[in-house]
Structure 1
Amino acid sequence: MAIKQQTPRQQKHLAVLIDADNAPASIIEGLFEEITKYGVASVKRIYGDWTGPQLGSWKKVLLDHSIQPIQQFAYTKGKNATDSALIIDAMDLLYTRRFDGFCLVSSDSDFTRLAARLREEGLTVYGFGEEKTPKPFVSACDKFIYTEILREEAPEAPPAAPDKQPAGEPAKPASKSKPQKVPVDLIAKLIDDLSDEDGWIQLGALGQNITRIRPEFDARLYGFRKLSDLVKSQNKRFEVQVRGSSASGGESLYVRNRKGGK
């Protein structure tokens, strides 16, 4: 009798489209590390006018990450032709039906309708942009990751000696955004709304529902690597319980509001 081999769980195929005019090259390492959490970057394209010097920092990293540069001339000063080229390519890729999701890397609100259109087709949209990204674009994505997080997680290179600094490029001090205030009231309300009769909810389910309401929610914005660390830090408001899983032999975390907690 032939033995049927088990196939590994199929990973999601993602199309990564980068707006070079509205994304810094310094995020490149953290960007693709983050994308691997969600699937395989089957297509990697970046859009901009590569004839000018303004995208020099991107040119240095394209080959290392196998990103295909798409040339888009700036036909009219002040008009961003890159957006149109990216949107057209996104729709062409959409209709191939080969992808499970898209990663849109930009801080430009012009991609709000594109994100919504891709989701209408049942695809998952991951947005990547700076904290200045307009709210409509953030909300149009299933998940939005602020690129400041990615830059902070990337290893910092040691500062070069004064005589090693490139001419005309003064050294820039490393800047890290201050952690935001933990939205404990939002978390507490969701626990009340979704918990079982004893007030418990599985941590993964809680995280999924927070993201549905706030696509930009990320524990790293508040100074924590994981949601579990964030919840545990708020021990005056939340209780955490570890439960074993009979199916996998692993453990699951459950959380509930602490009675009388404030």
Structure 2
Amino acid sequence: MNEESRIALLIDAENISAQYADYIMDEVSNYGTCSYKRIYGSWDRIVKTKWEGEINKNSLKPMMQFNNTRGKNASDSALIIDAMDILYTGYVDGFCIVSSDSDFTALARRLMEAGMMVIGMGESDKATEALENAYDKFVYIDVLATQAEEEKAEEKKAQAQAAKASNTRQKQSQTQTQSRNNAGSIPSKKTLENRITQIIKENDDKSKLTDLGQIGNELNRIFKNFDVRYYGRKGGRKYKYLKDFVKDIKSLQLDETEGNRVYVSLKK
């Protein structure tokens, strides 16, 4: 999707913390423009809570519900009904559903069947594998938030050190980095390297070159929660682009053509 794509952003306030609001808005902007920005929850989960301030700040439309029956979540039903209504208007190109609730698995599948691009966002320790696989892509919003906060802390630390003319830098904790990389079911670097190698060998058997774009598409198809931003590089920073991630794999070689096409092959 590009910046001209129209996205319906639907947030389950009863399942996602307001602390992730800014990260949600930043992430969804990568896929297009929000034609709908709605948030669902019971009155007590929105009014006089942190979500109330985020609603005004990010211009979200609150769709508050009353749970008429104990044990039944009216907000989930309202979100599903609205999603189908929006689908039939034909005014959007895709959906972003923000919730770790597995009850939305069937909804995600139905929207994909209708030809929609469907993005999911949730927390790494709550989302099930079945929920993640129901989406075109599933983003661990808690992992991205943690990394963003750590990068901010690192920047402040670096500024303080520069002001004091310090010649030393403290290394980021490798233990914390490894812990973040293992959040949820994020595939290991070795698993990704093996899959990329397999893709290249399959293309070699057909006398075909392996385009970097094909690798990105295949990794996203197989690992719905794959995102290079989850992985650390030398110095403790995170990758931003697939090209840099693949380039750092010692067994692979990148070749760029004059037309800015990037091909990947096995080092000999």
TM bucket (normalised to shorter chain) is 0.7 to 0.9
Are residues 1:38 and 2:31 paired?
yes
Assess, with a 3 A threshold, how the Cα gap between structure 1 residues 225 and 19 changes in structure 2: closer, same or farther.
Answer: same
Which runs of 5 or more residues in structure 1 are unaligned? 1-8, 159-174, 246-250
- 1:203-229 superposed Cα distances (whole Å, 9 cap, x missing partner): 122101211122211112222222222
The CA deviation at 1:190 is 2.2
Which of 101, 112, 118 aligns to 2:105? It is 112
Assess, with a 3 A threshold, how the Cα gap between structure 1 residues 152 and 253 changes in structure 2: closer, same or farther.
Answer: farther
Which of 116, 136, 141 aligns to 1:142? It is 136
Partner of 1:165: none
**Equivalent-residue separation in structure 2 for 1:63 and 1:53 (angstroms):** 12
Amino acid at match of 1:64: K
- 1:128-161 superposed Cα distances (whole Å, 9 cap, x missing partner): 1111301111111111111123313444688xxx
3-state SS, counterpart of residue 254 of structure 2: strand
Which of 46, 50, 55 aligns to 1:57? It is 50
TM-score between the two structures when normalised by the length of structure 1: 0.79
The CA deviation at 1:87 is 0.2
**Equivalent-residue separation in structure 2 for 1:52 and 1:21 (angstroms):** 6
The CA deviation at 1:18 is 0.4
Partner of 2:114: 121
- 1:178-203 superposed Cα distances (whole Å, 9 cap, x missing partner): 22421221222223234686664121
Partner of 1:78: 71
- 1:97-124 superposed Cα distances (whole Å, 9 cap, x missing partner): 1110000100011111100100111111
Assess, with a 3 A threshold, how the Cα gap between structure 1 residues 106 and 52 changes in structure 2: closer, same or farther.
Answer: closer
Partner of 2:249: 234
Amino acid at match of 2:241: K
**Equivalent-residue separation in structure 2 for 1:126 and 1:52 (angstroms):** 24
Partner of 1:255: 264
Structure with bigger helix share is 2
Quick check: 1:232–1:240 contact (8 Å CA) kept in 2? yes
Partner of 2:210: 201
- 1:68-110 superposed Cα distances (whole Å, 9 cap, x missing partner): 0111112233332211110000000010011100001000111
Identity, % of aligned positions: 40
Quick check: 2:143–2:180 contact (8 Å CA) kept in 1? no
Partner of 1:90: 83
**Equivalent-residue separation in structure 1 for 2:48 and 2:142 (angstroms):** 19
Quick check: 1:27–1:150 contact (8 Å CA) kept in 2? no
The CA deviation at 1:233 is 1.7
Amino acid at match of 2:128: P
Cα root mean square deviation, aligned: 2.4
Question: Alignment length, in residue pairs?
Answer: 229
